[in-house]
Amino acid sequence: FKYVSGSGVLMSMIARAGARGWKRLSSSLSTHQSRLIELEEAHTCLSYAPIPVVLERGEGVHLYDVDGTRYYDFLSGYSAVNQGHCHPRIVDALKSQAEKLTLTSRAFHSDALGEYAAFITDLFGYD
């Protein structure tokens, strides 16, 4: 892909490529990746037409499939992982928080949400 700003544009490129060209990529999958994709498709509800690559791990801007092939992550989890994968400070913060409280439903208040909301709205100059 060449760089395109906006995840909607990128997703429509992926969708068009999927309709035309993912079959070529699918035919070159390893037996391991094919088996994992078949297992997933047999036991999950399909909400997208995924790119036929089975990811195993990420590090910084790179993703790795189960066969060890390295890819650049241009999708970044729809902006949810734009800081990169497995950054040590973020992993440490996640571990620390998970040891206290994993998730607070918005049906409750959180001891951190108000402070964070005040900080971030002040930082960006929102009221």
Residue 25: which residues within 8 A CB-CB, separation 6 or more? 51, 52, 53
pLDDT-based confidence at 7, cuts 50/70/90? very low
pLDDT at 35: 92
Q: Kindly report, residue by residue over 61-93, the tens digit of the pLDDT.
A: 888 999 999 988 887 666 667 788 899 999 999
What are the start-end ranges of the E strands in 2-97? 55-59, 62-65, 70-72
Determine the length of the chain. Answer: 127
The 10 Å CB-count burial string (b at 16+, else e) for 66-85 is eeeeeeebebbeeeebeeeb
Residues near 109 by beta carbon (within 8 Å), at least 6 away in sequence: none
The pLDDT score that the predictor gives to residue 50 is 80
Interval 27-65: pLDDT, tens: 688 999 999 999 988 888 877 778 888 999 999 888 899
